[in-house]
Amino acid sequence: MQDLAMENNQAETVFFVPNGNDYDIRWFTPAAEINLCGHATLASAYVLFNFLGYKQPSLTFHSKSGP
- Domain 2-62 -> CATH class: alpha beta
pLDDT bucket at 59, cuts 50 / 70 / 90:
very high
pTM of the model: 0.90
What does the domain layout of the chain look like in residue ranges?
A: 2-62
Per-residue pLDDT tens for 13-47?
999 999 999 999 999 999 999 999 999 999 999 99
pLDDT bucket at 11, cuts 50 / 70 / 90:
very high
Give the active site residues: 12
Q: Is the dihedral of CA 11, 13, 19, 23 positive or negative?
A: positive
For the CA atoms of 28, 34, 14, 43, what is the dihedral angle to 10 degrees? -140
